[in-house]
Structures are given as C-alpha cells and as structure tokens.
Structure 1
Amino acid sequence: MTHEREITEPVDLCRSDGALDPAAVGWSRTPVHRANLRGWGRTKRWEYWCVTTPTHLVALTVSDLDFLALNSLYFLEYGSGGREFEVGSIVPFGRGVRLPETVAGATGGADVVVGPARPTGGRVRVEIRHEDGGTRLRARCLTPGRLPVEVDLLVTRPEGHESLSVVVPWSRRRFQYTSKQTALPAAGQVRIGDEILKFGDDEESWAVLDHGRGRWPRTVDWNWGAASGRTDGHTVGLQFGGRWTAGTGSTENALCVDGRLSKIGEELDWRWSRTDPLAPWTLRTPASDQVDLTFTPFHNRSTRTEAALLSNRTDQCFGHYDGRVRTADGAEIAVRRLLGWAEDVHMRW
C-alpha cells in the first residue's frame, strides 16, 4: 500500500537546532510525534475539529500562526434556507493562545482553552479538554444576529481505533506534522438561542480532527478531503490530501475501515472545477484500484481574505462521496453517500 516508513515509537519532530529530525519522517497509526518546534515567523500550529450529522455540522478551530492567532466557530444547517454562520477572533501575535506539542485534549496531552468565558462581539471561547474515553469540545459565542451559541460535544475514541499521523518534509527547515483522525463517534448538542440541536442521539454523528504542527513556506496550495460514516456494512473514514505533498515522498492519504488504517502511498489524481466548485469532483489513485470516488457537493463554504500578511482563497465544499475503495488486505468497500468535504485552498501566510 505504501513505500513510506511506519513509525511505532515516540519521536521528536525536530533536532536541537530546530531542523527536521530525519528519524521523524514517516507515518504512524497513532500519534507518536512530539512537535518540539523552534523559531518564529514560519511556525504554524492548529487544532481543527469538524463534527457532522446528516442535517447539520459544527467546526471549531484554534490556530497559532506566529504573527496572529485565529479562533473560530462555524455552523452549517444543510438544505435551502438552512442557517450558516461563522464567528472568528483574530488575536495579534497569538497572545494567550498556546497549543501543546502533542494532540490537544488527547490522553497524555494538554488541554486548550482560548477566549473569554463570556465572549461578546466577534470573540469566541473554545475549550478542548481530555476526558476518560475521549475529548470534550466546548465553545461559546454570539451569532452575527446576537443569539447566544453554546457547543458541548464529547468525541469518543474506541479502543484500538487507528488514525493517520504523517510528517511531510519539504526541506530540513520547512516541514509539517499532521494527525488526521476520522470516523470518531460524537454526541452532545449545540444550542442557538432557545433551540437545541442534537448530535449523536437518533442520527449518526462523526468527528474529524486535523491536528497540525510545522514550519511552512510563505505560499502553498492544497486539497483536503475527509468523510466519515457507515457504508457497505462498515464504519469508514476517508482521509485524502493533494498538491502540498507532491515531491516530498510522503502523502496524507489513508482509509480507516472498522478502526483499522490502510496507508496509501500514491498521490491521488484530483479533478474539480475551480470556476464551479459545486460541480462533481473525482478522486482516484492513478496507478492502482485503491481509490475511485466521486464527490458531489451540496454547499460551498467560500472564503476570501486579503490582509497585509495573510492571503487566503478557500473553497471548502460539503457533500457526499460515492464509489469504491480497497483496503490494505484487499477488501473492496462500496462507498455510498458518505458525508464529508473536499477543499481547494491557496494560502499566503
């Protein structure tokens, strides 16, 4: 499935001078890297959680980009007329935002709390805390219409559930460690004003984590796709990346089927329309039959930012995956309407 080296023991990401340690380059089924980053200006750290149901989703972000921090809450209710809002706080120089060297809120990792306890205006409170069996996600803010919002979700990690952690090396001084965790059960609620929206009671609810720590080039482009749910009698998590890993010898491509990870060493062939992101996308492994999927979006979260130090163009499309995938042991899984997203991003930071 892959030519990449599997890492099974704890390892530091960096040497004492801040350069990438060659011993850290590889992938693992559980997070084993300690992101002991050095230096300022090109260092990027973040925790991004997205929790979906068949009818709505919520995403929480805590990020430290050195020259600023961005903490945000995004909510989407699917369908015509569904609610959508995002509340984000920009913190100059990341004051008060400290992300740990390991996954926040995980076993053995530090908790993260940012923002005021009673946020007003465009500010947001985000809490990522460890609890027995999982991670508690809490958030609080006001909608643009000044309705109070409260998020309280518990993401559980079934025993033995595997995820993809990988180091992507552009050079000794530019590299990224990412842990992508899919198909994690979640339960709880989001309160908007007097209305309570349930997660995980009568409907499936799944969480995906994007944990990132690295030292990045000034400009980069990437694709990211993920999905979680039940299909063909299995619990399936899809994790795909593109463009930013090309030429590094590493990919962030993997399948998680019933908690077991299949690492994919091929770069995927991504096809989509930049002028019409809501047109169907295709994702395939060009040299094998491991991935053959069509992604059909129903909503585009489009972001355009132009600031002195930051330029961002993001089309994050939510929709469904259909097609087939093949695991490392040769099992073919039919993918039918698996809920997730695919995105096209250009970033200057």
Structure 2
Amino acid sequence: MATHEHEITEPVDLCLPDGSLNPAAVGWSRKPLHRANLRGWGRTKRWEYWCVTTPTHLVALTVSDLDFLALNTVYVLEFGTGGREFECSSIVPAARGVRLPDSVAGAPGSEDVVVGPARPTGNKVRVEIRDENAGTRLRARCLTRERLPLEVDLLVSRPEGHESLSVVVPWSEQRFQYTSKHTALPASGRVRVGSEIVKFGGEGNDTWAVLDHGRGRWPRTVDWNWGAASGRTDGHTVGLQFGGRWTEGTGSTENGLCVDGRLTKIGEELDWRWSAADPMAPLSLRTPSSGQVDLTFTPFHNRAVHTDVGLIANRTDQRFGHYDGRIRTDDGEEIAVEQLLGWAEDVHMRW
C-alpha cells in the first residue's frame, strides 16, 4: 500500500530565505536530502540522538541545542533484575559551545560534532560524533553520580544502500520539524563503567544503532509518541519506526518499516493504545486501515524523566522492551515480529 505522501528524491532547502517553511521541502525521502537552513531564535530546536542496543545493554547519547540552552546526555542501561542505570546530563546556558550542522552530524560530507571538555568533571559531559571511513564514530565521557568514570566508544556501520526515513512535518509556515530516523544499523565497540568493560558487537553482532536527527521550529508545548526497534526476526533484518500525536492533522507521518535495508513508508497515523496509569502495561500499535502494522509492545523498564526548570518542563516515560506481532511491506510480504528489542515513549514537552 503506497503512501499518499510526496517522495522527495533531490536535495532541497528546508527553509525559504525569510526562514519560513519551503513548500518544496514537505514530503519524505529514503535518505537525508534536506538542508536545515534554519533562521530565528527561541523556537529553533536541533538535536542528534543515538541509541545503541545489545541483548543485555543499551547506551544513548544526546546532543541538543534548544536555543536558550543545550541539554547533552549520556545514558547507559543494563537489562534484567538488578540491572544498573547510569545517566549523566549537562545543561549549557545559551547553548554556548554547542553547534549542530544543517545535515546529519558525522555523516559523509557533513560536519563532526564535539561538545564538552576533553576531561569532564562534575556535571559536564563530553560527546563526539565523527565521520570515519567505516561509519559514524560515537564517543562520550562523563562521571556518574557514584563518581565512576563512564566512557563510550562505538562505531556505527553504514551498509551500502541501507534506507532511512526522513520527513518534514508542517504545523504551519513558521512551525515545522525535519526529522531523519535511521534504524537497524550494525554497530560495535565498548562501554566502560569504572573498571568494568562491556563489549558491544562481536560474534553474532546482535548490536544495533538508531538515529533520531531533528531540526525544526517548534510550538511552545507539544505531545508525542515515538517507537523504534531493530534486530533480526523471521529471517530478516527489521527496523521499526513509529510516531504519533505530534503529526496528527499535518498530512505527514513518521511511520515506516526498514526490512533488509529497504524502506516501506506508511502514510497512516497509527492507533496507539496504552495505559496512562501504568507505564509498564503492554501497549498496542496498529494501522487502522491498511493492516500493515499489528504489534504489541511489552516493556521491561521505564526511564521516567519529570522535570520543571522554568523555561523547560518535560514529562517523559521512555519504555524499553520488546515488540511482537506482524508487519507487511509494500510488496505484500508478511513478516512475523518476535521479541524485537526497542522502545516506546510518551512525552509532554514545554520548551
């Protein structure tokens, strides 16, 4: 079932010279083609979010520029009963020293990103996103609350021809978001916490990276759902990318399936059903008309972030867990999804 949305196949500027949304930029693409030539201050938001998972651990790195401040984060989760959780966050007033490029950071032809001191102390965070011939290098350093040194060194591969999902979501001529979501990218490397080293990748290489690249001009308050997963199931390498609520009424969605490197774009809004009272309850995601998605997500951990620091108020329930059910590609192939590791989040943001 082909989407009704316009597919973009040539490079395009996100904005017109006056900073408003370029109508030619509205649509989706199978690789990043937009140049986020944003103008204006106060409502402009830029970020790079990488999450790399193994069957036992995950690590997430965030570099963000929200105009009036930057929030850069390193997060590590060890799965299972008694699993440890580490989070280091650095707030940078006026986003001083944080500069994100107009295209995907660390991709070929784009700029590298480096934030924070080389030897961070206190609440400071060092994050590096660099282009290497073999892929994108992710490095990070910080001190945990327990004063343990935490170091990340990962390499995300770029398989030839692997497709991603880039979408422009237009609320209005002055409020819009460009998002580029990349799933099911092989990764390898290691994470060190104190004297303990955790290897990512290796034999079987069941280590996968997901990128959320965002550039846009946002309203003051917004609510969204985001779900993603990567891994092997039913003889295929599968990446799931789903969004909800924030795209409603815009004519765009950020829903897609990446199967063996090929993207299926889904133009329907998904039906998300979850318990507002119990963040650990299973939730369901379905396409109400096409039947291309019929999944249940069962969480095993909730990363709850509830903050209010004046200019920014954030309520996030980022649930990590597994997807089960079925999906169908554009060519009609039905794929059984079994225990695909990922997340589903529910966010309210005032920024």
**For the superposition of Structure 1 and Structure 2, which TM-score range results when normalised by the shorter chain?**
over 0.9
CA distance in 2, matches of 1:275, 1:214: 31
CA distance in 2, matches of 1:273, 1:134: 39
Q: In the TM superposition, what whole-angstrom CA distance separates every residue of 1:116-152 from its partner, at most 9, and x where no partner exists?
A: 0000111110000000131000000111111111100
Counterpart residue number, 2:45: 44
Counterpart residue number, 2:314: 312
1:279 aligns with 2:281: yes
**RMSD after superposition:** 0.5
Q: In the TM superposition, what whole-angstrom CA distance separates every residue of 1:237-296 from its partner, at most 9, and x where no partner exists?
A: 000000000000000000000000000000000000111011000000001110000000
CA distance in 2, matches of 1:228, 1:167: 23
Counterpart residue number, 2:83: 82
Counterpart residue number, 1:64: 65
Counterpart residue number, 2:334: 332
Q: In the TM superposition, what whole-angstrom CA distance separates every residue of 1:9-39 from its partner, at most 9, and x where no partner exists?
A: 0000000000000000000000000000000
Counterpart residue number, 1:226: 228
Counterparts of 1:145-294 in structure 2 under 5 Å? 145-202=146-203, 203-294=205-296
Q: Which runs of 5+ in 1 are unaligned?
A: none
Q: Which runs of 5+ in 2 are unaligned?
A: none
CA distance in 1, matches of 2:170, 2:342: 27
TM (norm. structure 1) is 0.99
CA distance in 1, matches of 2:206, 2:197: 17
State the identity %. Answer: 81
Counterpart residue number, 1:119: 120
1:346 aligns with 2:330: no
Q: In the TM superposition, what whole-angstrom CA distance separates every residue of 1:95-115 from its partner, at most 9, and x where no partner exists?
A: 000000000000111000000
1:290 is matched by which residue type in structure 2? Q
1:264 is matched by which residue type in structure 2? I
CA distance in 2, matches of 1:345, 1:5: 28
Counterpart residue number, 1:301: 303
Question: Could you say what secondary structure the match of 2:110 adopts?
Answer: coil
Question: Could you say what secondary structure the match of 1:4 adopts?
Answer: coil
CA distance in 2, matches of 1:227, 1:271: 18
Q: How many residues were matched structurally?
A: 349
Which stretches of structure 1, 4 residues or longer, exceed 4 Å deviation after superposition? none
1:192 is matched by which residue type in structure 2? V
Deviation, structure 1 residue 54: 0.3
Question: Could you say what secondary structure the match of 1:237 adopts?
Answer: strand
1:228 is matched by which residue type in structure 2? S
CA distance in 2, matches of 1:25, 1:32: 12
Counterpart residue number, 1:322: 324
Question: Could you say what secondary structure the match of 1:297 adopts?
Answer: strand
